[in-house]
Amino acid sequence: MAGFFGEGDDARKALTATATAPGAAPPAAPPPRRRRRDAGRSPERQRAERAIAVHRVVLGLAVVALLAVLLFVPTLPAPSARGGALPGVVVPAGITPATAIGAAGEAASGVECGPGVRQVPWSAYSVACQPAWHGANGGATAPGVSATTIRVSYRMAASAQLTELSSLLPPSAVGTSTEAVDTIEAYIATFNKLFELYGRRVVLVPYKAKSDFVSEDTGQGQQQAQQDALTASTGVKAFADVSLADSSSLYTADLAAQNVVSLSVGLDDAAFYRANSPFAYTPGASCTKAAVATAAVLGRQLAGLPAVDAGDPALQRSTRVFGVVYPQMPTATACAGALVADLAAAGVTPTNVVALPFDLSQLVNESQNAVAQMRAAGVTTLICAACDPVTPLFLMQAADNQGYHPEWWYQSNFVGGQTGTDSATRLFPPDQADHLLATGNQAPPYGLQEAVEAYRLGNPHARRVPMPTYAYAYAALLQLFDTLQLAGPDLTPANFLAAAGHLPASEPWGMFGAWDGRAGAYDPGAGYRVVRWDPTARSGVDQGRGAWVDCDAGRQFTYAAAGGDVPAHRQLVCSPAAGAVSRPPADRLVPVPPGG
């Protein structure tokens, strides 16, 4: 590209120099003018010829535009010509190809397939329907895969640091590893019956971990994380890992080194997923996308206006001044750096940017220091960038101690922003949480959530309920099964990646916001909403008092627009009544087929 434009500039300069150099020969005389082509033609014929010429120009421009799109849109490998395989999905000889997407016939889920029908009709995120498949699946196509099973690992972590963390985030708010396994197994039981897995079933294999995410996130436990990844690969013999919040960036990278696919609910930057391809995935949006969303809302919509959502009346009357705090660990550092850069592109320079050591023994003192800096700098709007659920708790307690009540923007480092996190948010000091903004989604009523329906269908114990953070488990398992179906019978990490890029656009009533494989094979999150914490709203997650509610009538924006679809210079309007109700239409409900 540089050579193309550079040579053009040099050529123009050379032409100019030749025309103006002293003593240079005058340019050749122009050729004589030709007789006008329309001479002697009737006015009607002249108008017709001009119309044809315009039509040809427009058609030519359209062709050029189409070629430009085709050249710059990322492409997958050449399509297989066999059966219903997607572009990039390889089907070797001897393996029966997948049935064609959208073809007529009854699916494994029991629905009649056809154009526009999803494999799981009551899911906003399900792949398109495929008639039931029968044939040869190739058997052991990859480690962790046999002719009848796909092995998936879950590491159950236990350590002194996790015990200390549980005193801050009690199991009643976030759940336990045992509850996570029970919830995952219920979802797997449902999805094994509904999705086309080409003669196989997903089998969950929990194992006892040697490491934990707290150690790994603070730069420790590298050797233990490698041992855990080795256990998942050679001990469990897993094709994929779904350790949810018990995972970490370090563990994910170690799994990739062992050729194990992972679906983590923690967010990394886009470069991390590329570096660990084709093994690392998340069902949400990378923190690179999350930074785009935060910068769009704060920089385009709210900057330059009074901080009306602050708790202090004096700050409410003040024009917004931004400050950034983030946990000092590799993932959060990269994500916070992306946010600061995107804010700068939006014309906003944070007054203070402070890194907090992610060490429970230091968080109290370091949070006090960070808040003191923000208060002294006149920060009205404090951004917690790439934040876990613990860091905001310490910051808000420090703000209470100093009588400081700003607006808070909570950029979570977990899937979906503030989606399904009502129970954990109630742990924050109420007088601070009442002024909390974020990206996320208002939870629909409990009985209308597809995550609850899927758990109920797979849970043999009528009185058992899913873990408090069931939304994370559901999103990760749904992404896994969607992609397994699209990958076809020849299940390999390469085919898994090719399939991930073809996840269909989700329905507008989806409880996690928009998904679309075209928005990212590793991170299909395609859109975001703004939410505000409302201490009086009834939660759709657990029916408790206090919930995240939609702002601006649940309007959804796309990451691809990079803020261009966000309204400029307008305060947020947030209320439970304005939120979008996410529910499948009545005609989408379908019973789970027996057995399976």
Q: What single string gives the DSSP state of each residue in 475-504?
A: HHHHHHHHHHHHH-SS--HHHHHHHHTTPP
Phi, psi of 91 (to 5 degrees): -125, 100
Instruction: Using the predicted structure, report yes or no on whether residue 3 has a pLDDT greater than 80.
Output: no
Instruction: Using the predicted structure, report yes or no on whether residue 186 has a pLDDT greater than 60.
Output: yes
Among residues of the chain, what percentage have pLDDT more than 90? 65
Res. 587 pLDDT band, cuts 50 70 90: low
* Nearest in space to 355 (alpha carbons), one of 324, 321, 322, 383: 324
Distance of alpha carbon 315 from alpha carbon 256, whole angstroms:
47
Q: Which range in 186-200, 242-256, 382-396, 436-450 is most confidently predicted, on average pLDDT? A: 186-200
**Higher pLDDT, residue 380 or 469:** 380
Rounded to an integer, the average pLDDT of 366-376 is: 97
Q: What is the mean pLDDT of the chain?
A: 84
Q: In this predicted structure, what is the pLDDT of residue 269?
A: 95
Tokens representing residue 210 in the block: 């040697």
For 373-427, write each residue's pLDDT tens digit.
Answer: 999 999 999 999 999 888 999 999 999 999 999 999 999 988 888 888 898 899 9
Q: In this predicted structure, what is the pLDDT of residue 413?
A: 86
Res. 578 pLDDT band, cuts 50 70 90: low
Q: In this predicted structure, what is the pLDDT of residue 162?
A: 65
Please state, as a whole number, how many other Cβ atoms lie within 10 Å of the Cβ of residue 523: 28
Distance of alpha carbon 217 from alpha carbon 161, whole angstroms:
12
Q: In this predicted structure, what is the pLDDT of residue 24?
A: 34
For residues 436 and 410, the answer to whether their CB atoms sit within 8 Å is yes
* Nearest in space to 279 (alpha carbons), one of 430, 429, 493: 493
Q: In this predicted structure, what is the pLDDT of residue 367?
A: 96
Name which of 50-64, 348-362, 461-475 the model is least confident about. 50-64
Q: In this predicted structure, what is the pLDDT of residue 48?
A: 42
Tell me the angle at which helices 391-401 and 363-376 cross, rounded to the nearest 10 degrees: 60
Instruction: Using the predicted structure, report yes or no on whether residue 583 has a pLDDT greater than 70.
Output: no
Q: In this predicted structure, what is the pLDDT of residue 366?
A: 95
Distance of alpha carbon 458 from alpha carbon 455, whole angstroms:
5
Q: In this predicted structure, what is the pLDDT of residue 49?
A: 45
Distance of alpha carbon 83 from alpha carbon 186, whole angstroms:
32
Q: Specify the CATH architecture of the domain 105-284+447-506.
A: 3-Layer(aba) Sandwich (3.40)
Rounded to an integer, the average pLDDT of 255-284 is: 96
Tokens representing residue 424 in the block: 């954990």
* Nearest in space to 498 (alpha carbons), one of 484, 478, 510, 515: 484
Rounded to an integer, the average pLDDT of 271-275 is: 97
Rounded to an integer, the average pLDDT of 266-281 is: 96
Q: In this predicted structure, what is the pLDDT of residue 523?
A: 97
Give the HSE-up count for residue 492: Cα atoms under 13 Å, Cβ half-sphere.
Answer: 11
Res. 1 pLDDT band, cuts 50 70 90: very low
**Higher pLDDT, residue 34 or 110:** 110
Please state, as a whole number, how many other Cβ atoms lie within 10 Å of the Cβ of residue 518: 15
**Higher pLDDT, residue 14 or 512:** 512
Q: In this predicted structure, what is the pLDDT of residue 160?
A: 64
Q: What does each C-alpha distance from 582 to 124, 511, 512, 585, 589 come to in angstroms?
A: 9, 5, 9, 10, 14
Name which of 279-293, 303-317, 461-475 the model is least confident about. 461-475
Distance of alpha carbon 261 from alpha carbon 273, whole angstroms:
11
Which letter does DSSP use for residue 107 in this model? -
CATH T-level fold of 288-446+526-583: Rossmann fold (3.40.50)
Res. 30 pLDDT band, cuts 50 70 90: very low
Q: In this predicted structure, what is the pLDDT of residue 365?
A: 94
For residues 355 and 366, the answer to whether their CB atoms sit within 8 Å is no
Name which of 33-37, 116-120, 189-193, 400-404 the model is least confident about. 33-37
Three-state DSSP at 321 gives coil
For residues 492 and 141, the answer to whether their CB atoms sit within 8 Å is yes
Rounded to an integer, the average pLDDT of 438-461 is: 91
Res. 293 pLDDT band, cuts 50 70 90: very high
Distance of alpha carbon 461 from alpha carbon 252, whole angstroms:
32
Instruction: Using the predicted structure, report yes or no on whether residue 26 has a pLDDT greater than 60.
Output: no
Q: What residue spans define the domains of the chain? A: 105-284+447-506, 288-446+526-583
Tokens representing residue 345 in the block: 């592109």
Q: In this predicted structure, what is the pLDDT of residue 584?
A: 56
Whether 105-284+447-506 and 288-446+526-583 share one fold: the answer is yes
Res. 329 pLDDT band, cuts 50 70 90: confident
Please state, as a whole number, how many other Cβ atoms lie within 10 Å of the Cβ of residue 47: 12
**Higher pLDDT, residue 365 or 416:** 365
